[in-house]
Structure 1
Amino acid sequence: MFTKVSAIVACFLCSCLLTPFIAAATQPPAYTKIEDGIIVQLNNGQPNAARLIKLQVVSENIFHVTATPLDQFAEQPSLVLDEKKRSPVKWDIKETAGEVILVTATTQAKIILSTGQVSFLDKAGNVLLQEAPGGGKTFTGTTLDGEQSYIVRQAFESSADEGLYGLGQHQAGVFNYKGTQVLLSQYNTEVAVPFMTSSKNYGILWHNNSITKSIDSRNYEQLNTLKLFSANGDEGWLTATYIDKKNPTHIFVSRPESYIDYPYIPSLKKFPDSINLANTLVTWEGKIESGFTGQHVFNFYLSGYTKIFMDGKLIASRWRQSWNPGTELIKINFEKGKKYDFKIEWDPSSSQSYISCTWLKPLTGKDKNEFAFESEAGTAVDYYFVTGANMDEVISGYRNLTGKATMLPKWAMGFWQSRERYKTQEEILSTVAEFRKRKIPLDNIVEDWSYWEPDKWGSQDFDKTRFPDAAGMIKTLHEKYHTQFMISVWPKFYEGIANYKMMNDSGWIYKRNVANHERDWIGKGYVSSFYDAYNPNARKAFWGTMNKTLYPAGVDAWWLDATEPDINSNGSPQQRKELSTPNYFGSSAKNYNAFALMNAKGVYEGQRATNPAKRVFILTRSSYAGIQKYAAATWSGDIGSRWEDFKNQIPAGLNFGLSGMPYWTTDIGGFATEQRYENAKGKDLEEWREQMTRWYQFGAFCPLFRVHGQYPYREIFNTAPEDHPAYKSMLYYDKLRYRLMPYIYSLAGQTYQNDYTIMRALQMDFANDTEVKNIGNEYMFGPAILVNPVTDFLARNRAVYLPAGTGWYNLYDGKFIAGGQTITADAPYEQIPLFVKEGSIIPYGPEMEYTAEKPADPITLYVYGGKDASFTLYEDENTNYNYENGQFATIQINYTEAAKTVTIENRKGSFKGMLNNRTFKIVLVTKDKPLPLDLQNVAPQKTVKYAGKKLVANLSK
């Protein structure tokens, strides 16, 4: 038994022994200062938690955060970041109780040493963005090709009124992604770009190339996690009925199904054995009940014809080509415990069609005010925070990180004609000849796939039986018709051809699809695979195959198709990764999303090395962060040709621009058409013509203006006769596009020089107007023109919101309307509603049939009064890279409302072939004197001769 003294001694000794351990446990984590920031070492002791956090200063308004559960950071080359040398940044470090703050002239980054939570603040200390409490970092161990990897997740706090945008191009019709999952996984029509922008004027570049769930990162659940009831009221399933399409009274099979999960080729085996989907109609019906109250999200992935009913109301009607399923996102409010009638009617239309339905419960609690990025492969949380005074500055920060957008050749801003496909040399020449005969403006004709011999995909050569003199054909296009020639090149090679053997012998071919003996859909079907675009030597070899035959023949531009990569369509994401593993960097999971970037890099660098004097131009079906530095534009893939597909293109294109990507286009008319349109007559033909017209009106105000698709042929003269309103309208907007070329090419100049964005969500220019945060069906085309596409059949008007803080002029009649209101705008068949912002200058050039036909002279300046205005006219040599060396010219044009004067400032810069003397015609449109857009009949108030020196035109006299 202890005595009192021995007890005291024991307590003393115990205290002495424990003191250092208590001190170690309570001591704040250490940090180390490095050249551009700090490294914090955390001591939380939790498995798979962040051990090291690195916080770096990149510029005054860009910070880099990396965090790893390992004992050191794994150094990996970046595929995305620009390799330029960066100037040193002046920054300071401050310490407060348990915190370290990195301070630049404009921004602050604060880290709590005990948890690693990072916050970003403005100069005054106001929070711009902060990670979730505790740091929001999660690492879940996984193994990839025998190597340790992690599922990495980073959560952030988000205010209730925040709008979240960007993240590439997606087809669910959503503009503001707040509270919505955006899956960053490359797929035909879905483009993953891991850059998000916020209405709070910041952006996040998520520096991870693997498949990523963003914003709402929860996993979708199968339907069977809801309460399901059959058509007869039995609990536990829906009633699935498989009906004979030819005899609807004949039921093949009726069975219980508790989930609808047929999204990929292997899942087709889950259908009843006796069923041929091509001859079958399917219904799922019954009731559903949720244990939650609030907004439920249903994610449908489908092809064929699908109708979805809730409580007897049709809530969605979709069609997608059977071989290319698409996503339909439906948000529905449920009451806990209430049963809802639920029915799906599905016409698969093909023996290989796909459908699935999953769901997410309502966001509650902290989840409502968080967003996250969760990637399936990585050893670190890795992201860049970018801020600015506005979204343009945020996007400029993105391009600072990933590379400037190059100048595209001027002809790319003109009209392109494409078809799936021109089968012979004669078809191409006769099509262009018809354009020139009818004086329809045109700059580019596009040759889609299968110009090669049927069994020689990847030969990068023409089938001589159909294209006997490709070089002569291209020479005729250039010299006789003044038309450029773009051609489709896939990263795909048929087994057995010379290019396949060369790539395969070097170890540059993905082997799995060949080992699987998978045949494609051409003729009897051929075994093929794609090359490893991550390998620098393979990229050089790929360009070499193009440079052997195609480039010497005179090809002007490259259409890089199927760059997801789409090695074998309709496989699951896991199968797609297996088909492209291993690549140069190991497991394809780590860099799955970056194939298109690497493919474009090889072509860009190859052509620039081969011919430094000619601008590269690439159109690619998939895209990724940084691809803008490789002269690449993106189109929205093989979308369907329905009104709802058309409608979805507008938010898709706007979010692509808000991802920092300036050049985007869509297949005017959609790519794949329903059978009723292929040989349309009567009502179907008239609906097709109206849809083409409306889509064309929209396309004229996209960064790039192109028509493409399957049957029916998409040429203006094949769409409707000359006396039809469809023909007249399309011709009008084609000609207007060319009259606007001084405006459009100047915006392209701003895109290179000042990181501008041509196709602009209203949030970019009217951020103080809270009404615009969720508007994704209208947009600004440059600084002046408000574009309002008409996306409903037979609509002859549409609701248009005119942003507050400025007035608006109707482009067509010049009448003034106050901003800050929603109007019903006239939209006759022939017209898209267009409005011009008060205080704008729009330069119009002469009428042209192709962009290089004549100089931009005279220029008519339409000035819209009420406020001061300015515009910078940009010009260069149009097709070479001399602009990179300062060989370009700008002319600043200013309008002063008080004095009613237009000042054309001294020209800055020069270039070979520059127009030294020119004429400006000035038309002033005011509230009191509205003037229509009529470049033939409206007399200018002033006509001035300009020789490069400042002049002032007084319009008050």
Structure 2
Amino acid sequence: MINKMNIRRICILMFLFFAISITDKGQTYQKTDTGIKTVINSVGVEIQFYTPSTVRILKWPAGTTFTKKSLSVIETPQKTAFSINQSGDELFLKSKNVQVDLNLKNGRISFSTSTGGEPLLREKEAGVSFAKFNDAGAKTYTVGQSFVLDKGEAIYGLGQQQQGKMNQRNDILHMIQGNTDDYIPYFLSEKGYGLYWDNYSPTLFVDNPDSTTFKSDVGNCIDYYFMYGGNAHGVIAQMRDLTGQVPMLPLWTYGYWQSRERYKSQDEIVGVVKKYRELGVPLDGIIQDWQYWGDNLHWNAMEFLNPNFPHPQKMVNEIHAMHAHIIISVWASFGPKTKQYEVLNKKGMLLNFKTWPLSATDAWPPDMSRPSGVRVYDAYNTEARKIFWKFLDKGLFSLGI
């Protein structure tokens, strides 16, 4: 005879058997305040509604833990009403404006409007990748995610590149910030949605007929945002909400600005503005680039130490008197003979890696027998940023620049 204790044990075992079976098939999920969490094929997946129009996707190797604090996203999840429905292996999360479809068997996610229909964007099946990576002693991953776009779909964005293209389809971009390349891992589709890949390490963007992929050298997780705006204006509005509102610049900044590699003297830069006025050619501003500080040992001193700029206040006043503005270049690094270097070095706020300029001389190629000693400051340090600003304010802003 089977007693009550045995019956209870049998029921518990049967429950555990079915629970384990369902979990192994990737068909269970945990509802959260903002969406759901689950594990599919050894990959943790979280879907978070930030707003009715913005959805965050997180993925990570199952069994690992991480803390991700974004350096660019300032928005926090708003209280967003959403529904969850399941049909076979498909899980549907729907807000007022967006529907997210998660395949509980293969982990693929697709996005559409709340009215359904063809997906606006979908991930490529088996398009997620995690490869172990040693980041200067820290164990982490190289992370990647592939998407499938419509064949003729145009996408715009990804920052500033020197290739003369608007549509970024059929392209390969090595997204590393450079002198004339300023990358943003974000694109806007003509279909009325945007995608922001929230990773700051060197990233490879590849678009070909097979897929559209972001692959970043370093990351504890995949972290991206899908934004639906209906049109370009709506998507940009979502991005501004996500990363912060940017005020409009003054009207005069939208006029013509004159610039060159650099002006080598005070007389030269003032003379250029005078010539524009003599010719009657409109000019709103002029840009003074590098070496106004002198040699490379005084790199980015934020002072006019170059003897060819003997009276910087007089120079600024003369330019302003001609109803023009002046902008000046500053850098995130300092030469060893600057005041900034001395202060930051004592506080351990300079980073120890090679940066441009490599040599103390201006000769080309660089004379490495005379290294410049220039070092980048730690911009992630709050006190270091305050020191940077103090010297900038005293040396340049005080002149009216």
**TM-score (ref. length: structure 2):** 0.86
CA drift of 1:157 comes to 2.0
1:204 aligns to what? 195
2:61 aligns to what? 69
CA drift of 1:103 comes to 1.2
Is the 2:39–2:62 contact (alpha carbons within 8 Å) kept by the matching residues of 1? no
Deviates more, 1:463-472 or 1:191-200: 463-472
2:35 aligns to what? 37
Given the superposition, is the C-alpha separation of residues 529 and 382 from structure 1 closer, same or farther in structure 2, using an over 3 Å criterion?
Answer: same
CA drift of 1:375 comes to 1.0
Give the letter for the 2:199 counterpart: N
> Structure 2: which 5+ residue stretches go unaligned?
1-11
- Residue of structure 1 aligned with 2:389, choices 527, 530, 543: 543
The yes-or-no answer on 1:53 pairing with 2:45 is yes
Given the superposition, is the C-alpha separation of residues 142 and 412 from structure 1 closer, same or farther in structure 2, using an over 3 Å criterion?
Answer: same
The yes-or-no answer on 1:89 pairing with 2:85 is no
The yes-or-no answer on 1:458 pairing with 2:304 is no
In 2: Cα distance, 1:18 partner to 1:401 partner? 46
SS at the partner of 1:485? strand
In 1: Cα distance, 2:272 partner to 2:169 partner? 46
SS at the partner of 2:159? strand
Given the superposition, is the C-alpha separation of residues 483 and 197 from structure 1 closer, same or farther in structure 2, using an over 3 Å criterion?
Answer: same
Is the 2:191–2:230 contact (alpha carbons within 8 Å) kept by the matching residues of 1? no
- Residue of structure 1 aligned with 2:353, choices 482, 489, 512: 512
In 1: Cα distance, 2:357 partner to 2:174 partner? 30
2:20 aligns to what? 24
SS at the partner of 2:38? strand
- Aligned pairs (5 A) from 1:187-336: 187-216=178-207
**What whole-Å deviation, never above 9, does each CA across 1:833-877 have from its counterpart, x for those lacking one?**
xxxxxxxxxxxxxxxxxxxxxxxxxxxxxxxxxxxxxxxxxxxxx
In 1: Cα distance, 2:189 partner to 2:263 partner? 43
In 1: Cα distance, 2:85 partner to 2:239 partner? 27
**What whole-Å deviation, never above 9, does each CA across 1:251-280 have from its counterpart, x for those lacking one?**
xxxxxxxxxxxxxxxxxxxxxxxxxxxxxx
CA drift of 1:150 comes to 0.8
In 1: Cα distance, 2:91 partner to 2:18 partner? 23
CA drift of 1:188 comes to 2.6
Give the letter for the 2:34 counterpart: D
In 2: Cα distance, 1:32 partner to 1:107 partner? 20
2:3 aligns to what? none
In 1: Cα distance, 2:354 partner to 2:148 partner? 43
In 2: Cα distance, 1:122 partner to 1:462 partner? 57
Is the 2:75–2:242 contact (alpha carbons within 8 Å) kept by the matching residues of 1? no
- Residue of structure 2 aligned with 1:165, choices 139, 145, 156: 156
In 2: Cα distance, 1:441 partner to 1:138 partner? 53
CA drift of 1:546 comes to 0.8
Give the letter for the 1:507 counterpart: G
Is the 1:177–1:215 contact (alpha carbons within 8 Å) kept by the matching residues of 2? no
SS at the partner of 2:194? strand
Is the 1:458–1:500 contact (alpha carbons within 8 Å) kept by the matching residues of 2? no
CA drift of 1:209 comes to 0.9
1:383 aligns to what? 224
Given the superposition, is the C-alpha separation of residues 174 and 37 from structure 1 closer, same or farther in structure 2, using an over 3 Å criterion?
Answer: same
Count of matched residue positions in the alignment of Structure 1 and Structure 2 = 380
Is the 1:206–1:382 contact (alpha carbons within 8 Å) kept by the matching residues of 2? yes
Give the letter for the 1:202 counterpart: Y
CA drift of 1:508 comes to 1.6
Higher Cα radius of gyration:
1
1:628 aligns to what? none
> Structure 1: which 5+ residue stretches go unaligned?
1-15, 217-362, 556-957
Given the superposition, is the C-alpha separation of residues 488 and 59 from structure 1 closer, same or farther in structure 2, using an over 3 Å criterion?
Answer: same
CA drift of 1:120 comes to 0.9
CA drift of 1:53 comes to 0.8
CA drift of 1:551 comes to 0.9
- Residue of structure 1 aligned with 2:400, choices 543, 546, 554: 554
In 2: Cα distance, 1:503 partner to 1:476 partner? 34
The yes-or-no answer on 1:447 pairing with 2:288 is yes
SS at the partner of 2:278? helix
Given the superposition, is the C-alpha separation of residues 98 and 201 from structure 1 closer, same or farther in structure 2, using an over 3 Å criterion?
Answer: same
CA drift of 1:518 comes to 4.1
Is the 1:29–1:114 contact (alpha carbons within 8 Å) kept by the matching residues of 2? yes
Given the superposition, is the C-alpha separation of residues 409 and 73 from structure 1 closer, same or farther in structure 2, using an over 3 Å criterion?
Answer: farther
The yes-or-no answer on 1:490 pairing with 2:323 is no
In 1: Cα distance, 2:102 partner to 2:384 partner? 43
Given the superposition, is the C-alpha separation of residues 375 and 85 from structure 1 closer, same or farther in structure 2, using an over 3 Å criterion?
Answer: closer
Is the 1:509–1:531 contact (alpha carbons within 8 Å) kept by the matching residues of 2? yes
**What whole-Å deviation, never above 9, does each CA across 1:24-59 have from its counterpart, x for those lacking one?**
2345543222221111133x3xxxx41x21101112
Is the 2:186–2:196 contact (alpha carbons within 8 Å) kept by the matching residues of 1? yes
Give the letter for the 1:466 counterpart: N
Given the superposition, is the C-alpha separation of residues 23 and 74 from structure 1 closer, same or farther in structure 2, using an over 3 Å criterion?
Answer: closer
SS at the partner of 1:59? coil
- Residue of structure 1 aligned with 2:135, choices 133, 137, 144: 144
CA drift of 1:17 comes to 9.0
The yes-or-no answer on 1:522 pairing with 2:368 is no
CA drift of 1:517 comes to 11
**What whole-Å deviation, never above 9, does each CA across 1:584-618 have from its counterpart, x for those lacking one?**
xxxxxxxxxxxxxxxxxxxxxxxxxxxxxxxxxxx
SS at the partner of 2:257? strand
SS at the partner of 1:137? strand
In 2: Cα distance, 1:94 partner to 1:208 partner? 31
The yes-or-no answer on 1:129 pairing with 2:128 is no
1:372 aligns to what? 213
**TM-score (ref. length: structure 1):** 0.38
- Aligned pairs (5 A) from 1:695-706: none
Give the letter for the 1:536 counterpart: T
Given the superposition, is the C-alpha separation of residues 423 and 517 from structure 1 closer, same or farther in structure 2, using an over 3 Å criterion?
Answer: closer
Given the superposition, is the C-alpha separation of residues 392 and 540 from structure 1 closer, same or farther in structure 2, using an over 3 Å criterion?
Answer: same
SS at the partner of 1:132? strand
In 1: Cα distance, 2:256 partner to 2:123 partner? 46
SS at the partner of 1:55? strand
In 2: Cα distance, 1:537 partner to 1:409 partner? 30
Given the superposition, is the C-alpha separation of residues 84 and 178 from structure 1 closer, same or farther in structure 2, using an over 3 Å criterion?
Answer: closer
In 1: Cα distance, 2:33 partner to 2:19 partner? 30
- Aligned pairs (5 A) from 1:446-845: 446-454=287-295, 455-463=297-305, 465-478=307-320, 480-513=321-354, 518-522=358-362, 526-555=372-401
Is the 2:97–2:114 contact (alpha carbons within 8 Å) kept by the matching residues of 1? yes
In 2: Cα distance, 1:509 partner to 1:198 partner? 41
Is the 1:201–1:389 contact (alpha carbons within 8 Å) kept by the matching residues of 2? yes
Is the 1:131–1:155 contact (alpha carbons within 8 Å) kept by the matching residues of 2? yes
Give the letter for the 1:24 counterpart: I
Given the superposition, is the C-alpha separation of residues 370 and 465 from structure 1 closer, same or farther in structure 2, using an over 3 Å criterion?
Answer: closer
SS at the partner of 1:193? strand
Give the letter for the 2:308 counterpart: R
Is the 1:160–1:369 contact (alpha carbons within 8 Å) kept by the matching residues of 2? no
CA drift of 1:444 comes to 0.9
In 2: Cα distance, 1:105 partner to 1:17 partner? 41
SS at the partner of 1:475? helix
Is the 2:61–2:130 contact (alpha carbons within 8 Å) kept by the matching residues of 1? yes
In 2: Cα distance, 1:169 partner to 1:118 partner? 29
Is the 1:159–1:369 contact (alpha carbons within 8 Å) kept by the matching residues of 2? no
